[in-house]
Amino acid sequence: MNHDNYVIDDMITAKAIAARVESMATEITEHFKGTEKLIVIGLLRGSFMFIADLVRELDLPVEVDFLETSSYGDSMESSREVRILKDLRGEIKNRDILVVEDIVDTGHTLSHVLQLLKSRQPSRMMVCALLNKPSRREVDVKADLVGFEIEDKFVVGYGIDYAQRNRNLPFIGAVRFIDD
């Protein structure tokens, strides 16, 4: 796929994503079996497609809430300064929560979010990430459940953007810049 100054190379197909989401949902359902209600917390904006597909596959009573954070802006590099742009609406104290992240990269955002959520004393917490980029990790944090391990490439699609573009792609692709 061509854009003004970059090309998107296919990395993970829509079919592979759907199959992995289904298997992850099975693991999450088993982990939280017997819960009164699972609060699924999506980290906006990149996780919105993933969370929508994931909750449809969960065989549990769920409530969905969102946190919006920012550490990238329109850049390809994390500023390492995590800001909370939108907080949760509901209370999570003594509740079971599933944190859903699109990609764990440097780890700064996830680490910050987990500290915030732990301070609110949930009963049980699990972290689920669609993508994991361990080669970029700067903070010792990891997801309990990962969809795909990827190499150090800037990716878009399936909710993940570059400068607010390409979220609508049904697959994950790697951005490759074209030299002028």
Q: How far apart are CA 178 and CA 4, in angstroms?
A: 9
CA angle 42, 29, 55 (to 5 degrees): 35
From 105, 144, 152, 161, active-site residue: 105
CA–CA separation, 163 vs 171, rounded Å?
Answer: 17
| CA–CA separation, 92 and 38 (whole Å) | 10
Residue 105 annotated among the catalytic residues of the structure: yes
Angle between helices 14-31 and 48-57 (to 10 degrees): 60
Query: So which residues are the catalytic ones?
Result: 105
